[in-house]
Amino acid sequence: MSLPTGGRRRQLILSPQAQQGCAAACYHAGDRPPGHPRIVFIDAIELRILHLPLVRFFETSFGRTDERVLILVRVDGEGAVGWGECVADAHPFYSAETVRTAWHILSDYLVPAVLGRQFGHPREVGEALQFVRGHQMAKAALEMGAWDLAAQQAGVPLTRMLGGTRTAIASGVSIGIQPSLEELAERVALERAAGYQRVKIKIKPGWDVEAVSFLRQRFGDFPLMVDANAAYTVATSDRLRALDGFGLTMIEQPLDYDDIRDHATLQRALRTPICLDESITTVNRAEEAIALQACRVINVKPGRVGGHAASVALHDLCARHGIPVWHGGMLETGIGRAHNIHLASLPNFSLPGDIAASRRYFDPDLIDPPIEVRPDGTIPVPDAPGIGVIVVEERVASLTDEVLRLHA
Protein backbone atom coordinates (compact mmCIF):
# COMPACT_ATOMS: atom_id res chain seq x y z
CA MET A 1 0.00 0.00 0.00
CA SER A 2 1.48 3.33 -0.88
CA LEU A 3 0.44 6.89 -1.30
CA PRO A 4 0.51 8.39 -4.78
CA THR A 5 3.41 10.72 -4.00
CA GLY A 6 5.37 9.46 -6.99
CA GLY A 7 8.56 9.91 -5.00
CA ARG A 8 8.63 13.65 -5.65
CA ARG A 9 9.98 16.13 -3.14
CA ARG A 10 8.49 19.55 -2.67
CA GLN A 11 8.95 22.45 -0.34
CA LEU A 12 6.02 24.76 0.38
CA ILE A 13 5.93 27.95 2.38
CA LEU A 14 2.53 29.18 3.58
CA SER A 15 1.78 32.79 2.86
CA PRO A 16 2.11 35.17 5.83
CA GLN A 17 -1.63 35.88 5.43
CA ALA A 18 -2.48 32.18 5.79
CA GLN A 19 -0.27 31.90 8.87
CA GLN A 20 -1.75 35.05 10.37
CA GLY A 21 -5.31 33.86 9.73
CA CYS A 22 -4.90 30.62 11.63
CA ALA A 23 -2.95 32.20 14.49
CA ALA A 24 -5.69 34.81 14.84
CA ALA A 25 -8.29 32.05 15.04
CA CYS A 26 -6.75 30.74 18.27
CA TYR A 27 -5.10 33.83 19.73
CA HIS A 28 -6.82 33.24 23.04
CA ALA A 29 -5.51 29.74 23.65
CA GLY A 30 -1.79 29.91 24.27
CA ASP A 31 -1.02 33.54 25.05
CA ARG A 32 0.93 34.25 28.21
CA PRO A 33 0.70 37.34 30.40
CA PRO A 34 3.52 39.83 29.71
CA GLY A 35 6.69 38.92 31.56
CA HIS A 36 5.65 35.30 32.17
CA PRO A 37 8.67 33.02 31.79
CA ARG A 38 8.52 31.19 28.49
CA ILE A 39 9.25 27.51 28.40
CA VAL A 40 8.48 26.57 24.82
CA PHE A 41 9.18 28.82 21.87
CA ILE A 42 8.64 27.27 18.45
CA ASP A 43 10.62 28.94 15.69
CA ALA A 44 10.48 26.33 12.90
CA ILE A 45 8.54 23.19 12.03
CA GLU A 46 9.30 20.59 9.40
CA LEU A 47 6.84 17.98 8.14
CA ARG A 48 7.97 14.90 6.24
CA ILE A 49 6.20 11.97 4.63
CA LEU A 50 8.22 8.76 4.85
CA HIS A 51 7.74 5.28 3.41
CA LEU A 52 9.25 2.47 5.49
CA PRO A 53 9.09 -1.21 4.56
CA LEU A 54 7.91 -3.50 7.37
CA VAL A 55 10.19 -6.39 8.29
CA ARG A 56 7.14 -8.67 8.03
CA PHE A 57 3.60 -8.00 6.88
CA PHE A 58 1.04 -7.14 9.58
CA GLU A 59 -2.55 -8.32 9.17
CA THR A 60 -5.61 -7.21 11.15
CA SER A 61 -9.33 -7.46 10.50
CA PHE A 62 -8.87 -4.46 8.11
CA GLY A 63 -6.40 -6.25 5.85
CA ARG A 64 -2.68 -6.75 5.33
CA THR A 65 0.04 -4.10 5.16
CA ASP A 66 3.66 -4.42 4.02
CA GLU A 67 4.90 -0.89 4.60
CA ARG A 68 4.33 2.03 6.91
CA VAL A 69 3.65 5.45 5.43
CA LEU A 70 3.84 8.17 8.05
CA ILE A 71 4.41 11.82 8.82
CA LEU A 72 7.27 12.97 11.03
CA VAL A 73 7.10 16.39 12.65
CA ARG A 74 10.31 18.14 13.65
CA VAL A 75 9.81 21.09 16.00
CA ASP A 76 12.70 23.54 16.43
CA GLY A 77 12.99 26.08 19.23
CA GLU A 78 15.95 28.11 20.43
CA GLY A 79 18.52 25.60 19.21
CA ALA A 80 16.73 22.49 20.53
CA VAL A 81 14.84 19.95 18.42
CA GLY A 82 11.73 17.91 19.27
CA TRP A 83 10.26 15.06 17.22
CA GLY A 84 6.69 13.86 16.87
CA GLU A 85 5.27 11.03 14.76
CA CYS A 86 1.82 10.98 13.24
CA VAL A 87 0.19 7.55 13.60
CA ALA A 88 -2.41 8.10 10.85
CA ASP A 89 -2.17 5.33 8.26
CA ALA A 90 -2.22 5.67 4.48
CA HIS A 91 -5.82 4.41 4.49
CA PRO A 92 -8.91 5.34 6.58
CA PHE A 93 -9.47 1.87 8.06
CA TYR A 94 -8.43 2.10 11.73
CA SER A 95 -9.60 5.73 11.89
CA ALA A 96 -11.01 8.37 9.57
CA GLU A 97 -7.67 10.16 9.49
CA THR A 98 -5.07 9.35 6.85
CA VAL A 99 -1.56 10.55 6.06
CA ARG A 100 -3.06 12.94 3.50
CA THR A 101 -5.73 14.41 5.82
CA ALA A 102 -3.13 14.85 8.56
CA TRP A 103 -0.77 16.59 6.14
CA HIS A 104 -3.55 18.98 5.13
CA ILE A 105 -4.64 19.73 8.70
CA LEU A 106 -1.08 20.12 9.97
CA SER A 107 0.20 22.33 7.19
CA ASP A 108 -2.89 24.48 6.68
CA TYR A 109 -4.13 24.90 10.27
CA LEU A 110 -2.13 23.43 13.14
CA VAL A 111 1.43 24.44 12.31
CA PRO A 112 0.54 28.07 11.53
CA ALA A 113 -1.31 28.24 14.87
CA VAL A 114 1.80 27.54 16.97
CA LEU A 115 4.70 28.77 14.83
CA GLY A 116 6.55 31.75 16.31
CA ARG A 117 4.58 31.52 19.54
CA GLN A 118 5.67 30.96 23.10
CA PHE A 119 3.94 28.67 25.56
CA GLY A 120 4.27 28.46 29.33
CA HIS A 121 3.96 24.68 29.25
CA PRO A 122 3.75 22.10 26.44
CA ARG A 123 0.18 21.22 27.46
CA GLU A 124 -0.82 24.68 26.19
CA VAL A 125 0.25 23.64 22.69
CA GLY A 126 -2.59 21.12 22.64
CA GLU A 127 -5.00 23.75 23.91
CA ALA A 128 -3.91 26.05 21.06
CA LEU A 129 -4.94 23.34 18.57
CA GLN A 130 -8.48 22.89 19.89
CA PHE A 131 -9.95 25.37 17.39
CA VAL A 132 -9.77 22.47 14.91
CA ARG A 133 -12.38 19.78 15.62
CA GLY A 134 -11.22 16.16 15.63
CA HIS A 135 -8.07 15.25 13.70
CA GLN A 136 -6.55 13.89 16.90
CA MET A 137 -3.65 12.14 15.16
CA ALA A 138 -2.55 15.29 13.34
CA LYS A 139 -2.79 17.27 16.58
CA ALA A 140 -0.93 14.61 18.57
CA ALA A 141 2.02 14.55 16.17
CA LEU A 142 2.62 18.27 16.63
CA GLU A 143 1.75 18.38 20.33
CA MET A 144 4.06 15.45 21.14
CA GLY A 145 6.89 17.09 19.18
CA ALA A 146 6.38 20.18 21.37
CA TRP A 147 6.57 18.04 24.55
CA ASP A 148 9.87 16.56 23.36
CA LEU A 149 11.14 20.05 22.54
CA ALA A 150 10.11 21.39 25.96
CA ALA A 151 11.79 18.49 27.76
CA GLN A 152 14.92 18.97 25.61
CA GLN A 153 14.95 22.68 26.43
CA ALA A 154 14.49 21.93 30.14
CA GLY A 155 17.20 19.21 30.01
CA VAL A 156 14.95 16.54 31.57
CA PRO A 157 13.61 13.21 30.28
CA LEU A 158 10.04 13.43 29.02
CA THR A 159 8.84 10.95 31.66
CA ARG A 160 9.53 13.54 34.37
CA MET A 161 7.43 16.20 32.62
CA LEU A 162 4.56 13.76 32.10
CA GLY A 163 4.54 12.55 35.73
CA GLY A 164 6.02 9.10 35.11
CA THR A 165 7.00 6.94 38.08
CA ARG A 166 8.51 3.84 36.46
CA THR A 167 12.09 3.37 35.23
CA ALA A 168 11.02 0.47 33.00
CA ILE A 169 7.77 -0.59 31.35
CA ALA A 170 6.28 -4.06 30.90
CA SER A 171 6.22 -5.10 27.25
CA GLY A 172 3.69 -7.25 25.46
CA VAL A 173 3.43 -8.22 21.84
CA SER A 174 0.70 -7.98 19.21
CA ILE A 175 0.57 -10.76 16.63
CA GLY A 176 -1.35 -10.22 13.43
CA ILE A 177 -3.63 -12.72 11.71
CA GLN A 178 -1.46 -15.56 10.35
CA PRO A 179 -1.80 -17.74 7.26
CA SER A 180 -2.31 -20.89 9.42
CA LEU A 181 -2.73 -22.01 13.04
CA GLU A 182 0.71 -23.64 12.98
CA GLU A 183 2.32 -20.38 11.88
CA LEU A 184 0.43 -18.58 14.66
CA ALA A 185 1.78 -21.07 17.21
CA GLU A 186 5.31 -20.58 15.86
CA ARG A 187 5.00 -16.79 16.26
CA VAL A 188 3.64 -17.14 19.79
CA ALA A 189 6.46 -19.51 20.78
CA LEU A 190 9.04 -17.11 19.35
CA GLU A 191 7.66 -14.06 21.16
CA ARG A 192 7.23 -15.86 24.49
CA ALA A 193 10.84 -17.05 24.25
CA ALA A 194 11.89 -13.42 23.68
CA GLY A 195 10.42 -12.59 27.10
CA TYR A 196 7.25 -10.64 26.24
CA GLN A 197 4.97 -10.57 29.28
CA ARG A 198 1.71 -11.08 27.41
CA VAL A 199 0.58 -12.03 23.93
CA LYS A 200 -2.23 -10.38 22.01
CA ILE A 201 -3.57 -11.88 18.83
CA LYS A 202 -5.67 -10.12 16.26
CA ILE A 203 -8.98 -11.82 15.55
CA LYS A 204 -11.85 -11.58 13.08
CA PRO A 205 -14.89 -13.79 12.42
CA GLY A 206 -13.45 -17.12 11.23
CA TRP A 207 -10.11 -16.53 12.97
CA ASP A 208 -11.13 -16.41 16.62
CA VAL A 209 -12.38 -19.36 18.69
CA GLU A 210 -10.28 -21.93 16.81
CA ALA A 211 -7.15 -19.80 17.09
CA VAL A 212 -7.57 -19.22 20.84
CA SER A 213 -8.50 -22.85 21.48
CA PHE A 214 -5.42 -23.99 19.48
CA LEU A 215 -3.10 -21.75 21.52
CA ARG A 216 -4.58 -22.91 24.83
CA GLN A 217 -4.15 -26.55 23.82
CA ARG A 218 -0.58 -25.94 22.67
CA PHE A 219 0.70 -23.64 25.43
CA GLY A 220 -1.76 -23.96 28.32
CA ASP A 221 -2.42 -21.02 30.59
CA PHE A 222 -0.39 -17.88 29.83
CA PRO A 223 -1.35 -14.17 29.58
CA LEU A 224 -3.31 -14.04 26.33
CA MET A 225 -5.77 -11.46 24.97
CA VAL A 226 -7.48 -10.82 21.64
CA ASP A 227 -8.12 -7.67 19.59
CA ALA A 228 -11.00 -7.63 17.10
CA ASN A 229 -10.57 -4.06 15.80
CA ALA A 230 -14.38 -3.72 15.71
CA ALA A 231 -14.89 -6.76 13.46
CA TYR A 232 -18.04 -8.05 15.24
CA THR A 233 -21.63 -6.93 15.57
CA VAL A 234 -24.31 -7.72 18.11
CA ALA A 235 -25.57 -10.33 15.60
CA THR A 236 -22.17 -12.09 15.48
CA SER A 237 -21.35 -11.68 19.17
CA ASP A 238 -22.02 -15.37 19.90
CA ARG A 239 -18.44 -15.89 18.67
CA LEU A 240 -17.29 -13.55 21.44
CA ARG A 241 -19.37 -15.34 24.05
CA ALA A 242 -17.68 -18.56 22.91
CA LEU A 243 -14.33 -16.96 23.84
CA ASP A 244 -15.46 -16.40 27.41
CA GLY A 245 -14.28 -19.76 28.70
CA PHE A 246 -10.62 -19.47 27.65
CA GLY A 247 -9.35 -17.28 30.49
CA LEU A 248 -8.39 -14.37 28.22
CA THR A 249 -7.09 -11.31 30.06
CA MET A 250 -9.41 -9.18 27.93
CA ILE A 251 -11.20 -8.82 24.58
CA GLU A 252 -10.26 -5.56 22.88
CA GLN A 253 -12.73 -3.49 20.85
CA PRO A 254 -15.02 -6.29 19.69
CA LEU A 255 -17.86 -4.08 18.41
CA ASP A 256 -18.20 -0.98 16.25
CA TYR A 257 -15.43 1.62 16.25
CA ASP A 258 -17.56 4.38 17.74
CA ASP A 259 -19.89 2.28 19.87
CA ILE A 260 -20.28 2.53 23.64
CA ARG A 261 -23.83 1.25 24.30
CA ASP A 262 -23.58 -2.20 22.70
CA HIS A 263 -20.23 -2.77 24.41
CA ALA A 264 -22.00 -2.12 27.73
CA THR A 265 -24.62 -4.75 26.87
CA LEU A 266 -21.93 -7.21 25.81
CA GLN A 267 -19.81 -6.57 28.90
CA ARG A 268 -22.78 -7.48 31.10
CA ALA A 269 -22.95 -10.83 29.30
CA LEU A 270 -19.22 -11.64 29.55
CA ARG A 271 -16.93 -12.60 32.43
CA THR A 272 -13.91 -11.56 30.33
CA PRO A 273 -13.14 -7.84 30.63
CA ILE A 274 -13.75 -5.74 27.55
CA CYS A 275 -11.01 -3.22 26.68
CA LEU A 276 -11.94 -0.25 24.52
CA ASP A 277 -9.55 1.17 21.93
CA GLU A 278 -11.11 2.77 18.82
CA SER A 279 -14.21 4.01 20.73
CA ILE A 280 -12.16 6.17 23.11
CA THR A 281 -11.30 9.24 21.04
CA THR A 282 -11.61 11.81 23.84
CA VAL A 283 -11.58 11.95 27.62
CA ASN A 284 -15.33 12.66 27.45
CA ARG A 285 -15.93 9.42 25.56
CA ALA A 286 -14.00 7.56 28.25
CA GLU A 287 -16.18 9.15 30.95
CA GLU A 288 -19.25 7.98 29.04
CA ALA A 289 -17.87 4.43 28.65
CA ILE A 290 -16.98 4.22 32.34
CA ALA A 291 -20.39 5.56 33.39
CA LEU A 292 -22.14 2.95 31.23
CA GLN A 293 -19.74 0.18 32.38
CA ALA A 294 -18.94 -0.55 28.75
CA CYS A 295 -15.41 -1.71 29.58
CA ARG A 296 -13.15 -2.70 32.46
CA VAL A 297 -9.87 -1.74 30.77
CA ILE A 298 -8.85 1.07 28.42
CA ASN A 299 -6.06 1.10 25.87
CA VAL A 300 -4.32 4.50 25.69
CA LYS A 301 -2.88 5.70 22.39
CA PRO A 302 -1.84 9.34 22.35
CA GLY A 303 -2.49 9.60 18.61
CA ARG A 304 -6.12 8.57 19.14
CA VAL A 305 -6.87 11.23 21.76
CA GLY A 306 -4.79 14.21 20.55
CA GLY A 307 -1.44 13.84 22.30
CA HIS A 308 0.30 13.56 25.63
CA ALA A 309 -1.81 16.03 27.63
CA ALA A 310 -5.07 14.27 26.71
CA SER A 311 -3.44 10.88 27.39
CA VAL A 312 -2.38 11.97 30.88
CA ALA A 313 -5.93 13.23 31.51
CA LEU A 314 -7.34 9.89 30.27
CA HIS A 315 -4.87 7.99 32.47
CA ASP A 316 -5.86 10.05 35.51
CA LEU A 317 -9.59 9.62 34.84
CA CYS A 318 -9.17 5.83 34.62
CA ALA A 319 -7.07 5.77 37.80
CA ARG A 320 -9.82 7.62 39.69
CA HIS A 321 -12.32 4.96 38.58
CA GLY A 322 -10.11 1.93 39.20
CA ILE A 323 -9.82 1.17 35.47
CA PRO A 324 -6.32 -0.09 34.57
CA VAL A 325 -4.81 1.15 31.31
CA TRP A 326 -2.13 -0.11 28.97
CA HIS A 327 -0.36 1.49 26.05
CA GLY A 328 -1.40 0.53 22.54
CA GLY A 329 0.72 0.51 19.41
CA MET A 330 0.26 1.92 15.90
CA LEU A 331 3.30 0.45 14.11
CA GLU A 332 5.34 3.44 15.26
CA THR A 333 8.99 3.90 14.37
CA GLY A 334 11.46 4.34 17.21
CA ILE A 335 10.45 8.01 17.50
CA GLY A 336 6.79 7.36 18.29
CA ARG A 337 7.77 4.27 20.26
CA ALA A 338 10.07 6.34 22.51
CA HIS A 339 7.23 8.80 23.19
CA ASN A 340 5.01 5.84 24.14
CA ILE A 341 7.59 4.43 26.56
CA HIS A 342 7.72 7.74 28.46
CA LEU A 343 3.94 7.95 28.62
CA ALA A 344 3.64 4.32 29.73
CA SER A 345 5.85 5.12 32.74
CA LEU A 346 2.83 6.70 34.48
CA PRO A 347 1.54 4.66 37.45
CA ASN A 348 -1.85 3.46 36.16
CA PHE A 349 -0.24 1.79 33.12
CA SER A 350 -0.41 -1.36 35.21
CA LEU A 351 -0.83 -3.91 32.39
CA PRO A 352 1.77 -4.85 29.77
CA GLY A 353 1.17 -2.85 26.58
CA ASP A 354 1.89 -3.21 22.87
CA ILE A 355 5.24 -1.39 22.94
CA ALA A 356 7.65 -3.99 21.57
CA ALA A 357 11.17 -3.98 20.15
CA SER A 358 11.71 -1.83 17.03
CA ARG A 359 13.20 -4.67 15.04
CA ARG A 360 9.91 -6.59 14.99
CA TYR A 361 8.79 -3.91 12.53
CA PHE A 362 11.67 -1.89 11.07
CA ASP A 363 15.26 -2.83 10.34
CA PRO A 364 16.97 -0.46 10.49
CA ASP A 365 14.80 1.85 12.58
CA LEU A 366 14.95 5.65 12.42
CA ILE A 367 16.73 5.76 15.79
CA ASP A 368 20.07 4.40 16.92
CA PRO A 369 20.34 2.29 18.99
CA PRO A 370 16.93 0.71 18.36
CA ILE A 371 14.49 -0.03 21.18
CA GLU A 372 15.13 -3.47 22.67
CA VAL A 373 13.17 -5.61 25.08
CA ARG A 374 15.16 -7.11 27.95
CA PRO A 375 14.93 -10.87 28.66
CA ASP A 376 12.53 -10.13 31.56
CA GLY A 377 10.08 -8.52 29.10
CA THR A 378 10.70 -4.92 30.14
CA ILE A 379 11.95 -1.84 28.29
CA PRO A 380 13.94 0.78 30.22
CA VAL A 381 12.62 4.34 30.08
CA PRO A 382 15.34 6.50 28.44
CA ASP A 383 16.90 8.92 30.91
CA ALA A 384 18.43 11.42 28.46
CA PRO A 385 16.58 14.74 27.87
CA GLY A 386 13.36 14.69 25.85
CA ILE A 387 12.38 11.34 24.37
CA GLY A 388 16.01 10.37 24.97
CA VAL A 389 16.84 8.63 21.69
CA ILE A 390 19.10 9.60 18.78
CA VAL A 391 17.25 10.18 15.50
CA VAL A 392 19.39 9.20 12.50
CA GLU A 393 18.62 12.19 10.32
CA GLU A 394 20.37 10.78 7.21
CA ARG A 395 18.09 7.73 7.42
CA VAL A 396 15.06 9.96 7.84
CA ALA A 397 16.14 12.01 4.81
CA SER A 398 16.73 8.94 2.65
CA LEU A 399 13.20 7.62 3.33
CA THR A 400 11.46 10.98 2.82
CA ASP A 401 9.15 11.49 -0.15
CA GLU A 402 7.89 14.93 0.65
CA VAL A 403 9.03 17.73 2.95
CA LEU A 404 7.52 21.02 4.07
CA ARG A 405 9.49 23.56 6.12
CA LEU A 406 7.86 26.47 7.87
CA HIS A 407 9.68 29.21 9.76
CA ALA A 408 8.45 31.85 12.18
Query: Which C-beta is closer to Mg ion: that of 110 or that of 276?
Result: 276
Q: Which segment (39-47, 200-208, 245-253, 389-397) binds Mg ion by CB under 5 A?
A: 245-253
CB 49 within 8 A of CB 69: yes
Indicate whether 191 belongs to the interface with Mg ion (CB under 5 A): no
Q: Which segment (212-220, 246-254, 286-294, 342-350) binds Mg ion by CB under 5 A?
A: 246-254
CB 294 within 8 A of CB 270: no
Indicate whether 354 belongs to the interface with Mg ion (CB under 5 A): no
Q: Name 143's Cβ contacts closer than 8 Å, sequence gap at least 6.
A: 84, 122, 125, 126, 129, 306, 307, 308, 309
Backbone angles phi, psi at 55, to 5 degrees: -60, -40
Q: Which of residues 250-279 bind Mg ion (CB under 5 A)?
A: 252, 277
Cis ω before 53 (30° cut-off from 0): no
Q: Which segment (84-92, 127-135, 223-231, 337-345) binds Mg ion by CB under 5 A?
A: 223-231
Residue 139 catalytic?
no
Query: Which C-beta is closer to Mg ion: that of 227 or that of 259?
Result: 227
Are β-strands 199-202 and 173-175 bridged in parallel, bridged antiparallel, or unpaired?
A: parallel
Q: How many residues touch Mg ion (CB under 5 A)?
A: 3
139, 200, 204, 301: which is the annotated catalytic residue? 301
**Closest to 400 measured CA to CA, from 39, 69, 4, 38:** 69
**Per-residue b or e along 331-367, where b marks 16 or more CB atoms closer than 10 Å to that residue's CB:** bbbbbbbbbbbbbbbbebbebbbbbbbbebbbeebbb
**Closest to 134 measured CA to CA, from 83, 84, 96:** 96
Query: Which C-beta is closer to Mg ion: that of 254 or that of 370?
Result: 254
Indicate whether 227 belongs to the interface with Mg ion (CB under 5 A): yes
Query: Which C-beta is closer to Mg ion: that of 94 or that of 119?
Result: 94
Minimal distance, residue 295 CB to Mg ion, in Å: 12
Residue 204 catalytic?
no
Query: Which C-beta is closer to Mg ion: that of 143 or that of 252?
Result: 252
Minimal distance, residue 252 CB to Mg ion, in Å: 5
Give the interface with Mg ion as residue ranges (CB under 5 A): 227, 252, 277
- Active-site residue set: 202, 301
